[in-house]
Amino acid sequence: MDKLFPLIGDPLPQLKVKTTHGPMTLPDDMKGKWFVLFSHPADFTPVCTTEFVAFQKRIDEFRALNCELIGLSLDQIFSHIKWVEWIKEKTGVAIEFPIIADFGDIAKQLGMIHPGKGGNTVRAVFIIDPDGIVRIIFYYPQELGRNIDEIIRAVKGMQVSDLNSVAIPAGWPNNELIKDRVIIPPAQSVKDAQERLKQYEGFDWWFCHKSL
């Protein structure tokens, strides 16, 4: 069966987009950076407004991770511009990241429109690495706003995993079992399994962990 949208591990398809910061080509214009491409149902809606403020309030945390933000919805560019002006006027928060104006082609290509939830984009999140590869995908319905801190945690966790060749436990860095430690990859041989607990701390040879 043909895929309807890129999956984890796939390259993000080439997208020529119109944004509030001018035309962009993705992922090329973000090469060498992580970025979060996220869709929201519509401009001038309450939950989306709270999300945009939350993203902007944490933009320095994203940038400290070499990660940029890009929004998208099925609204024209003038609507995005006016909404950004409204957010600044009413909340005092200036949105610094670009917002893509889409007539549906990009949203359909990325699986952001779910017919069972209407004709607007759902709250999709694609986390893309510096090579343009999709690393994480989240989907939320229109009625539930996202937890932006979890998106930051996800970016940070993937970077730690890539750099150290480890897996990241639930709730990291505050896991109930191993706190801020990370998990050693599975043993690849009987000999490796027998040596694991001599090399690392753990509950068993298949569940070893270490500090960074």
Which string of DSSP letters, residue by residue, matches 32-99? TSEEEEEE-S-SS-HHHHHHHHHHHHTHHHHHHTTEEEEEEESS-HHHHHHHHHHHHHHH-PPP-S-E
Banded model confidence at residue 3, pLDDT cuts 50, 70, 90: low
The angle subtended at Cα 53 by Cα 51 and Cα 55, nearest 5°, is: 65
pLDDT of residue 5: 87
Contact 110, 46 (CB under 8 A): no
Do residues 145 and 51 lie in contact, with contact meaning Cβ atoms separated by under 8 Å?
yes
C-alpha distance from residue 13 to each of 6, 89, 110, 177 (Å): 8, 36, 9, 39
Residue with tokens 């591990």: 9
Read off the pLDDT of residues 177-199 as tens digits, 9 standing for 90 and up. 999 999 999 899 999 999 999 99
Give me 89's structure tokens. Answer: 């006027």
CB distance 41 to 123 below 8 Å? yes
Percent of the chain with pLDDT over 70: 99
Whether the pLDDT of residue 114 is over 90: the answer is: yes
Strands across the sheet with 207-210, in order? 182-183, 207-210, 201-204
Cβ-contact 56, 97 below 8 angstroms: yes
> What is the share, in percent, of the chain residues with pLDDT greater than 90?
97
Burial of 187 (0-12, 13-18, 19+ CB in 10 A): middle
Asked if pLDDT for residue 65 goes beyond 60, the answer is yes
pTM of the model: 0.95
208 is catalytic: no
Mean pLDDT within 57-66: 98
pLDDT confidence bin for 4, thresholds 50/70/90: confident
Q: Which domains does the chain have, with CATH numbers?
A: 15-145 (3.40.30.10), 165-212 (3.30.1020.10)
pLDDT for residue 183? 98
- Determine contact, residues 39/72, Cβ cutoff 8 Å: yes
Q: Determine which one of 15, 37, 48, 184 is catalytic.
A: 48
* Phi-psi region at 132: left, alpha or beta (left = phi > 0; alpha = psi -120 to 50): left
**Mean pLDDT for the chain overall:** 96
- DSSP-assigned states of every residue in 177-211: TTBT-EEPPPP-SHHHHHHHHHHSEEEETTEEEE-
